[in-house]
Every structure is written in C-alpha cells, then in structure tokens.
Amino acid sequence: MRVLITGAAGFLGSHLTDRFLAEGHEVVGMDNLITGSRENLAHLQHERRFQFVFHDVSRYIQVEGPLDGVLHFASPASPIDYLELPIQTLKVGSLGTHNALGVAKAKGARFFLASTSEVYGDPQVHPQPESYWGHVNPVGPRGVYDEAKRFAEAMTMAYHRYHGVDTRIIRIFNTYGPRMRARDGRVVSNFIVQALKGEPLTVYGEGQQTRSFCYVSDLVDGIYRLFMSTHVEPTNIGNPHEFTVQQLAERVLALTGSKAPIERRPLPTDDPKVRQPDITKARTLLGWEPKVLLDEGLQRTIAYFREHLD
C-alpha cells in the first residue's frame, strides 16, 4: 500500500511511519513541524519508500499519485502544546480533518482518525467504554483539544455515512516511549526529565488522579490492527492497568535512582480525575492487548532520555 500519514514527524506519527515501512508499504509523511521534529525521521533519509512533505494540513492538501490510506495524526497533543497553540489545535482538528478526509475521498483511500481519550473529558463512567459520550467542558482551557477531536470524530462519521468513505477511529489513551519531547507537559516525560536532572518532580494536586500508560510499540500495533480491520466505530486503544500519578512518580524515582523530591502544585482546570480504557472491543475485534509492563517501558524510555538530554 501507499499511505499518507499526517503528523509524521511527531512522537506517534514517526513510530507509525516505521511500522508501515516495516510491513513493506510506502509512506508519504506530512508535517509542519510545529510540535514534530525532523530528528524523529532522520533515520529514514535514505529510505526510498518514504517521502517527507512539509505542509500545514489546515490548508488544502495535495498529494501526487495514488493513496490507499490516509492516517490523520497531525495535532498538538500535550497539555502544554494545546494550551500554547489553542487556535492551531482547533484548526488542525477541524480544517485539517476536513482536508485529510477530502484527500481520502478523492483518492478512494481508507481514512484513519487519531482521536483521543480526552473526548471522554473528566469522566463520570469508569473505566471508559466507547459507548460513553463523555463529560467535557467546551469553554474550558482544555476544550480546544477535547472539542477539536470530538468534532473530528463527527466529521469522520459524516464522511463515512454521506460519502461512503471507509473510515476508522481510534481513541488513544496515555502513551509513552522514545521520541517523546522533553518537557512537553506529558507526565511520563516530565517525571523522567526532572528525575534525570535532579529537579523536583511536579505532582499536581495530591497525585491521586489516575492514568493508564501504554508503551508506544503496543499502541502502534493496535493502530495497525485497527487500520487493517473492518471496524468503523471508535475503538479504545490503551493499557487498562491504572496507576495514580503519585505511584508513577515513585516508580520513575526508583528506576532512575534519582533522589529528587516530589513537589506538589495546584490541580489544573478540568484535569481528569480518572482515566482507564475499557478495551473489551479491541480484545474481541482485533485480538489486541498491551504486552509491555510499565517498568519495562519506563526503563526503555529512561534510556532514551539519558542519551538525548543535553
């Protein structure tokens, strides 16, 4: 196949590019590098089956030649990014999704939307199944990301129902691993960087809010299986094992050997209290579940940051 991956220079997009190439496909990677990095794709500079296109997908997208798939992963995805880039986040979720769907329709390609567990907001149902409609504050600071993705899902289903586009929607839960940006506001990278530098680990509130951490190779496997499946409805992909933020901080300190203290700060507005995927659908339809345990994944990620931190 020949596929277009938007956001290809990002953390997830670059790993996904690697997977499609490893499976023998051709990849056109598109990114405006607003949060992505050319370094994430540097190892592909001599790969003939990979082509990089510098472009903002919020503007009209043109790709020469046939396409079998369009995977829309372009978006700021960490709290720091979408709070600093609120308009760009809304535009890539709305205009970018519309443009990417337009390419898929024109090329007769399958469309794959990277949505997020943030569509569930601060959930009142736990764990979160795909049937849950969410509890989102549309005018809060996080609404720029939450509502952009909710709109993207609605637009994707509209193209499926009205235009007959073959679509897939993944709802991604917290993911971590090599190629995350240092200090990108995500809790795993924040804690690891702080621990390695001997800085206080910043825990918001009492640290009892929960998250479920999926290692990137597991997530990419779920993405690939979903893309190759026939399932149109949204599908959760994430690790169902739940940890408090305090527990994560303690694991990072233990695995890095850091003596850094834990520093408490006020809980951000609309910060979800719980986050855990119900992955019954992924297990049943895709035969997928995560394999990498938290300590193993953290060790790999710590090794990456040891090598890449200044």
Amino acid letter for position 188: V
User: What's the mean per-residue pLDDT of the chain?
Assistant: 96
Residues 9 and 141 grouped into a single domain: yes
155 and 33 within one domain? yes
Q: Are residues 200 and 302 in the same domain?
A: yes
- Shared domain for 68 and 94, answered yes or no, is yes
On the CB side of 16, CA atoms within 13 Å amount to 31
Give the pLDDT confidence of 114-145 residue by residue, as tens digits: 999 999 999 999 999 999 999 999 999 999 99
- Both 245 and 302 in one domain: the answer is yes
Residue 284 covered by a domain: no
Same domain, 220 and 131: yes
198 and 300 belong to one structural domain: yes
The one catalytic residue in 82, 120, 145, 176 is 145
- Asked whether residue 189 is domain-assigned, the answer is yes
What average pLDDT does the segment 195-207 reach?
Answer: 93
pLDDT tens-place string over residues 1-21: 999 999 999 999 999 999 999
Residue % of the chain over a pLDDT of 70: 100
Structural domain span for residue 37? 2-175+214-237
The answer to whether the beta carbons of residues 252 and 192 sit under 8 Å apart is: yes
Closest C-alpha among 221, 225, 272, 8 to residue 119: 272
**145 classed as catalytic:** yes
| Model confidence pLDDT, tens digit, residues 169-182 | 999 999 999 999 99
User: For residue 36, what is the domain's CATH number?
Assistant: 3.40.50.720
- How many Å apart are CA 15 and CA 168, to the nearest integer? 19
Sign of the CA dihedral running 212, 96, 53, 65? positive
Q: How would DSSP label each residue in 183-252?
A: TSS-HHHHHHHHHHTTPPEEEETTS--EEE-EEHHHHHHHHHHHHHS---S-EEES---EEEHHHHHHHH
Q: How far apart are CA 90 and CA 231, in angstroms?
A: 27
Collapsed DSSP state (helix, strand, coil) of residue 256: helix
Does residue 13 belong to any structural domain of this protein?
A: yes
- Tell me how crowded residue 111 is: count the other CB atoms within 10 A of its CB: 26
46-103: pLDDT as tens digits: 999 999 999 999 999 999 999 999 999 999 998 889 889 999 999 999 999 999 999 9
Total structural domains in the chain?
2
| Pairing of the two strands 210-212 and 262-265 | unpaired
Are 202 and 302 within one domain? yes
Say whether both 263 and 116 belong to one domain: no
